[in-house]
Amino acid sequence: MNDNEIFYSEGVAYKVTDTTKNEVMLISIEDNYRKDRPIRDFIIPEQVIHKGVSYLISSIEEIAFEDSSFERVLIPKSIKILPDGVFYDCKHLREIIVAEDNDTYTSIEGVLFDKQQRVLLCCPSNIQKTSYKVPKNVTKLSNWAFARCYNLRSILLPESLLYIGVEVFAHCPNLREINLPQNLTTIEDDIFRESLSLEKVCSSIQNLDTTSIDEEAFYSVLDRTKLYVPKGTIRQYEASTVWRYFYNIYETLAT
């Protein structure tokens, strides 16, 4: 079998990615998992046999689970590559479970992280919480990490956080408030896209020169969301090429 050759097994499509190591990528799943009727579990197998050859399932294509209806996904030891946004369209997903012996990823209370728990990769869309506190050692939120989390009203970010990826909080219809920690170094494009209920953003950033912010980072919420900034910094925010476009900027009281 050649690299990039596609085959099917039990309703799942795979593409050969490495003939030397006999590794494949999961690229799509059968229609039964794409109906609007939730299916409890989708268990990703560790290996698949095709024409008498055993292949290790080591990666998943970005759109493999598009419009899928499962509520829980189980990721095996063999998975080494999960692209950003791989569960973006899984609107029923409540929980992500990773095998304990997976060397690349782990999960905490149903949320997907890298093995070192420094990067939060994905909070499932249908997580059964209204608030979520990101663990204190996390330094990065991957692209779309909280996108389409319908139930969340608030998300508490840790002081350790340095990086917020593209559209991290996009399409969160019930999100009301969020804090931006003082140590942030990077905020990417349109992080609150279509999160139209967002009422308050509380920034703790004291020196705006230390933070790289995409010029459209807050594009979707500038006219309706109140921005609260540290006492004594309002002029700095109002002069900023990005922050100044918030219609409503207020200083917080000194603590």
Q: Are strands 111-114 and 131-133 parallel, antiparallel or unpaired?
A: unpaired
Look at residue 212 and tell me if it is in a domain: yes
Look at residue 28 and tell me if it is in a domain: no
Q: What is the average per-residue pLDDT within 94-109?
A: 98
Q: Are strands 12-18 and 6-9 parallel, antiparallel or unpaired?
A: antiparallel
Q: What is the pLDDT of residues 171-228, one digit of tens each?
A: 999 999 999 999 999 999 999 999 999 999 999 999 999 999 999 999 999 999 999 9
Q: What is the pLDDT of residues 114-171, one digit of tens each?
A: 999 999 999 999 999 999 999 999 999 999 999 999 999 999 999 999 999 999 999 9
CB atoms within 10 A of CB 247: 11
Q: What is the pLDDT of residues 31-48, one digit of tens each?
A: 666 666 667 899 999 999
Distance separating the N- and C-terminal Cα atoms of the chain = 66
Look at residue 218 and tell me if it is in a domain: yes
The amino acid at 14: Y
Are 217 and 195 in contact by the 8 Å Cβ rule? The answer is no
Task: Please tell me the predicted confidence (pLDDT) of residue 36.
Answer: 66
Look at residue 180 and tell me if it is in a domain: yes
Confidence band (pLDDT; 50, 70, 90) for 3? confident
Whole-number Å distance between alpha carbons of 231 and 147: 31
- Provide the token pair at 47: 């290996």
Cα R_g (the chain), whole angstroms: 20
3-state secondary structure the chain: CCCCCEEEECCEEEEEEECCCCEEEEEEECHHHCCCCCEEEEECCCEEEECCEEEEEEEECCCCCCCCCEEEEEECCCCCECCCCCCCCCCCCCEEEECCCCCCEEEECCEEEECCCCEEEECCCCCCCCEEECCCCCCEECCCCCCCCCCCCEEECCCCCCEECCCCCCCCCCCCEEEECCCCCEECCCCCCCCCCCCEEEECCCCHHHCEECCCCCCCCCCCCEEEECCCCHHHHHHCCCHHHCCEEEECCCC
Q: Which are the contacts of 10, defined by CB distance < 8 A and separation ≥ 6?
A: none
- Provide the token pair at 91: 């609107």
- Prediction pTM value: 0.94
Q: What is the pLDDT of residues 144-154, one digit of tens each?
A: 999 999 999 99
Confidence band (pLDDT; 50, 70, 90) for 30? confident
Whole-number Å distance between alpha carbons of 204 and 255: 12
Q: What is the average per-residue pLDDT within 90-99?
A: 96
Distances (CA, A) of 23 to 71, 81, 238: 27, 12, 53
Q: Domain range for residue 105? A: 65-251
Q: What is the pLDDT of residues 47-89, one digit of tens each?
A: 999 999 999 999 999 999 988 889 999 999 999 999 999 999 8
Task: Please tell me the predicted confidence (pLDDT) of residue 32.
Answer: 65
Look at residue 233 and tell me if it is in a domain: yes
Q: What is the pLDDT of residues 5-24, one digit of tens each?
A: 999 998 899 999 999 999 99
The amino acid at 136: K
Q: What is the pLDDT of residues 228-247, one digit of tens each?
A: 999 999 999 999 999 999 99
CATH number, domain with residue 208: 3.80.10.10
Q: How many domains does the chain have?
A: 1
Look at residue 60 and tell me if it is in a domain: no
Confidence band (pLDDT; 50, 70, 90) for 255? very low
Task: Please tell me the predicted confidence (pLDDT) of residue 11.
Answer: 87
